[in-house]
Amino acid sequence: MHLTRRTLISVSLSITLALASSATAFAASPAPAKGEHGMVVTAQHLATDVGVEVLKRGGNAIDAAVAVGYALAVVYPNAGNIGGGGFMTVRMKDGRTTFIDFRERAPLAATRTMYLDKAGNPVKGASLDGYLAVGVPGSVAGFEMVREKYGTLSRQDLIAPAIAFARDGFVLNQGDAASFADSASRLAKDPAAAAIFLKKDGKPYGMGEKLVQPDLAASLSAISEKGPDAFYKGAIADAIVRASGAKGGILAKEDFEQYAVRELKPVTCSYRGYEIVSSPPPSSGGAIICEILNVIEGYPMSYLGAGSAETVHVMVEAMRRAYVDRNSALGDPDFVDNPVSKLLDKGYAKEIRDRIDPFRAGVSKDLMPKGFGESTETTHYSIIDDEGNAVAVTYTLNGSYGAGVVADGTGILLNNEMDDFTQKPGVPNLYGLVQGEANAIQPKKTPLSSMSPTIVTRNGKPFMIIGSPGGSRIITITLEAIVNVIDHGMDIQQAIDAPRIHHQWLPDTIYVERFGLSPDTLKLLAGMGYHLDISEKSWGQAAGILVGGKSLAEIEKGGGARYNGAMDSRAASGAAQGY
């Protein structure tokens, strides 16, 4: 997703132009993938194959999630990683749920003003490019912790496919090549990154060419043999700390030694009889998805219909108010007292509904809390096994290829997750999020995330596994897929492919995917006072699984496949595969 390349069309200013370029595009979607024993949906087809093989060999969904996590670090380097972090929502076959937080932490030497100049203004790019942008990575610790506690296969077994892809190389398809081409100029800035991802002539690898990553193979082999200590206490940490010190970063060996995974209780809520199990702080995802669902539960969404002006109106007003809460109140639970129970309260949702004008757009600046002044890539994958263990993983380097730097000899791309913190209250970050004090930078703190790996259950059984990349839009992407299945009756592929809308309080704009709403609908919304932005580029790459049929109707009728997988049609290299 490249927010910068978006074409901005303001409907309220230029309604004719917007209307001329829009028509509803509820295009037909391909049928979801079917499986009776397991399903793996990831953003890179080779990683999907790895997950399916693990399941076929008798590994459980957690084993497959670990193997896919390592494989994506090799075959999907813009977001798959061992130099970043993420979240895993797990539901075991016996109904136990848990949440693994292996997201980055701020280095011990981090300060709340580290990205500001002497005048107190953010230094352009400081939280995005190079070593100062890097948070202490968590992926290796996370994968190993979850494997030991919930997996069944050995670490060596699960890392082996990733080592093979790195050592022997893999052939790029059209989507892989496009991603390298997009980021070539950025990767060229770091000699170690350029040596891996660009050819000798400085050009990116093209479709049909093979990318070999020997340094990454060596790092993965060391982790396979010695475990996370090879990353956090050994030569890999030393190399990253050395490169960081030499190139303006603040990472220290103690940062790596002190990194610890957190196992947290997921956020849960009910929506029309379904249970949503999703990410707790330090993600805002679960709480904000639940807050929005609680608000729209009071409206007849199914009757209002997918893509109607009324549906967009109530969804946007719920989003607007929920993002105020997100951006002002939430942060790392070790540092901030998060008002999660208030946000999940159905009474609070009713108060929000009561303030929504049925005929007019709300005004974001009227909701300004105290303390405010006025493509990027992540990846999500969903897995379920024969026993019904379900796993949703969203992990990331934050921006595409993270900070764009690799410490010499490691082959490991490092994240730029520090940009997710509030650099200065009121100043927007990469995703345009205007955030407050609760998410200020502090040593060892985790920046607030929007990542929302989610499992929906019905009658105590897994129903849907869903999540997506998309920065601040992850929340609305995930939410809309759930509403499309439950309220609008779409099958899982249609629910994911359907055009998206997004509102995040500030800017006070409804973002609409091009052709996402009909000209009539846009006109109605503009008439209610909305400012609309028709984005030329689509956003998100959701990966979903529906259990018991491809849609609610098929589930009710019976006879559908047990597992139905869908990779977003917006994803160029992904695949859903069942067996």
- Give the residue with the Cβ less far from ligand DON, 422 or 521: 422
Tell me the CB-side half-sphere exposure of residue 226, using CA atoms within 13 A.
Answer: 15
- Are 47 and 80 in contact by the 8 Å Cβ rule? The answer is yes
243 to 132, 185, 410: CA distances (angstroms) = 11, 21, 11
Smallest distance, ligand DON to C-beta of residue 59, A: 27
Q: Taking CB under 6 A as the rule, does residue 439 contact ligand DON?
A: no
**Residue 552, both tokens:** 């609610």
Following CA atoms 507, 510, 516, 517 in sequence, which dihedral angle do they give, to the nearest 10 degrees? Answer: -150
Q: Which of 378, 394, 396, 446 is catalytic?
A: 378
Q: What is the DSSP string of 506-558?
A: SS--EEEETTSS-HHHHHHHHHTT--EEEESS-----EEEEESSSSHHHHHH-
Smallest distance, ligand DON to C-beta of residue 258, A: 21
Q: Taking CB under 6 A as the rule, does residue 228 contact ligand DON?
A: no
Each residue 466-505 as x (binds ligand DON by CB under 6 A) or -, in order, gives ---xxx--x-------------------------------
- Give the residue with the Cβ less far from ligand DON, 1 or 465: 1
Smallest distance, ligand DON to C-beta of residue 453, A: 11
Does residue 378 carry a catalytic annotation?
yes
Stretch of 218-226, 247-255, 357-365, 444-452 lying at the interface with ligand DON (CB under 6 A): 444-452
**Residue 181, both tokens:** 């081409």
- Give the residue with the Cβ less far from ligand DON, 449 or 551: 449
- Give the residue with the Cβ less far from ligand DON, 298 or 432: 432
Q: Which residues pair with 278 in a beta bridge?
A: 267
Smallest distance, ligand DON to C-beta of residue 399, A: 7
Stretch of 123-131, 340-348, 371-379, 525-533 lying at the interface with ligand DON (CB under 6 A): 371-379
Our CA angle for 564, 394, 191, nearest 5°, is 125
Per residue in 498-513, is it b (16+ CB within 10 Å) or e — as a string? bbbbbbbbbebbbbbb
Q: Which of 310, 377, 385, 497 binds ligand DON (CB under 6 A)?
A: 377
- Are 524 and 358 in contact by the 8 Å Cβ rule? The answer is no
Smallest distance, ligand DON to C-beta of residue 497, A: 17
How many of the other CB atoms lie within 10 Å of CB of 124?
10
What do you get for the CA distance between the two ends of the chain, in Å? 31
Q: Taking CB under 6 A as the rule, does residue 450 contact ligand DON?
A: yes
- Give the residue with the Cβ less far from ligand DON, 420 or 568: 420
In 226-354, which ranges are E strands?
262-264, 267-271, 274-278
Q: Which of 127, 376, 429, 573 binds ligand DON (CB under 6 A)?
A: 376
Smallest distance, ligand DON to C-beta of residue 79, A: 7
**Residue 321, both tokens:** 């108010």
Residues 393-412 contacting ligand DON, CB under 6 A: 396, 398
Longest dimension (CA), the chain: 66
Smallest distance, ligand DON to C-beta of residue 157, A: 29
Our CA angle for 271, 275, 278, nearest 5°, is 105
- Give the residue with the Cβ less far from ligand DON, 304 or 413: 413
Q: Taking CB under 6 A as the rule, does residue 1 contact ligand DON?
A: yes
Stretch of 18-26, 166-174, 374-382, 555-563 lying at the interface with ligand DON (CB under 6 A): 374-382
Residues in contact with ligand DON by CB under 6 A are 1, 376-378, 396, 398, 417, 420, 449-451, 469-471, 474
Q: Which residues are catalytic?
A: 378
